[in-house]
Amino acid sequence: MTREKTQLKEFLESISVLQWVLSFLLLGVACIILMVYLMFTSLWPLSALYFVWLVMDWHKPERGGRRTMSVRKWKVWEHMRDYFPVKLVKTAELNPNKNYILGSHPHGIMCTGAFTCFSTESCGFAEAFPGVRASLAMLAGLFRIPFFREYIMSAGLYPVSKPSLVHLLSKSGKGNAVVIVIGGAAESLASSPGLNTVVMKERKGFVRLALELGVDLVPVYSFGENELYQQVIFAEGSLCRRLQDLFKKIMGFAPCLFVGERFVLMPYRTPITTVVGSPISVPKRVTPTDEEVDHYHRLYMQALSKLFHEHKVSCGLSENHELRII
Encode burial over 308-319: b for 16+ CB neighbours within 10 A, e otherwise. Answer: beebbeebebee
Question: Does residue 325 register a pLDDT over 90?
Answer: yes
Vertex 247: Cα angle to 251 and 24 (nearest 5) = 55
Question: Does residue 22 register a pLDDT over 60?
Answer: yes
Region 127-142: mean pLDDT is 96
Mapping DSSP to helix (H, G, I), strand (E, B) and coil, where does residue 201 land?
A: coil
Question: What is the sign, positive or negative, of the torsion defined by CA atoms of 167, 172, 173, 177?
Answer: negative
pLDDT tens digits for 202-222?
999 999 999 999 999 999 999
pLDDT computed for residue 2 by the predictor: 56
Question: Does residue 270 register a pLDDT over 60?
Answer: yes
Band of pLDDT at residue 258, cut at 50, 70 and 90: confident
pLDDT computed for residue 1 by the predictor: 47
Mapping DSSP to helix (H, G, I), strand (E, B) and coil, where does residue 157 land?
A: strand
Region 56-60: mean pLDDT is 95
pLDDT computed for residue 274 by the predictor: 98
Region 157-165: mean pLDDT is 96
Region 142-149: mean pLDDT is 95
Distance of CA 247 to the CA centre of its chain: 20
Bridge-based pairing state of the strands 133-138 and 176-181: parallel
Q: Name the DSSP class of 83.
A: H
Mean pLDDT of the chain: 93
Parse the chain into domains and list their residue ranges. 7-222+271-325
